[in-house]
Amino acid sequence: MRVHDGPVSAAISARRSVRKFARLTVDGDTVERLVALACTAPAPHHSRPWRFVQVGAESRERLADAMGEAWRADLERKGESVHVIDRLLRRSHGQLMEAPVLLLACLSLEGHHRWPDDERRRAERDMFVQSLGAALQNLLLAAGEAGLAGYLKGAPLFSADAVRSALDLPADWEPTFLVLLGYPDKSAELSPREAIDIDRFLVRR
Contact with ligand FMN (CB under 6 A): which of 16, 33, 62, 121? 16
Q: Does 48 bind ligand FMN (CB under 6 A)?
A: no
154 near ligand FMN (CB under 6 A): yes
Rounded to a whole number of angstroms, the CA Rg of the chain reads: 19
Q: Among residues 17, 25, 81, 165, which is the contact residue for ligand FMN, using CB under 6 A?
A: 17
Q: What stretches of the chain show up as alpha helix (H) in DSSP?
A: 7-14, 28-38, 57-77, 82-98, 118-145, 155-158, 160-166, 198-201
For the purposes of burial, counting CB atoms within 10 Å of the CB of 84, is it exposed (0-12), middle (13-18) or buried (19 or more)?
Answer: exposed
Nearest to 69 by CA among 44, 100, 92, 42: 92
Shortest approach of ligand FMN to residue 151 CB, angstroms? 5
Q: Closer to ligand FMN by CB, 43 or 150: give it.
A: 150
The least distance separating ligand FMN from the CB of residue 92, rounded to whole angstroms, comes to 9
Among 21, 66, 138, 153, binds ligand FMN (CB under 6 A): 153
Dihedral Cα 178, 142, 109, 106, nearest 10 deg? 20
Stretch that binds ligand FMN, among 29-37, 73-81, 83-91, 147-155 (CB under 6 A): 147-155
Residues in contact with ligand FMN, counted by CB under 6 A, come to a total of 9
Closer Cβ to ligand FMN, 56 or 154, answer by number: 154
Nearer to ligand FMN, 19 or 164 (CB): 19
Task: Write b or e for each residue in 26-39: b if 16 or more Cβ atoms lie within 10 A of its Cβ, otherwise e.
Answer: beeebbeebbebbb
Q: Is residue 152 at the binding interface for ligand FMN, with CB under 6 A as the rule?
A: yes
Q: What are phi and psi of 48, to 5 degrees?
A: -135, 80
Is residue 151 a contact point for ligand FMN (CB under 6 A)?
yes
The three-class DSSP label of residue 23 is: coil
Q: Which residues bind ligand FMN (CB under 6 A)?
A: 16-17, 19, 151-155, 193
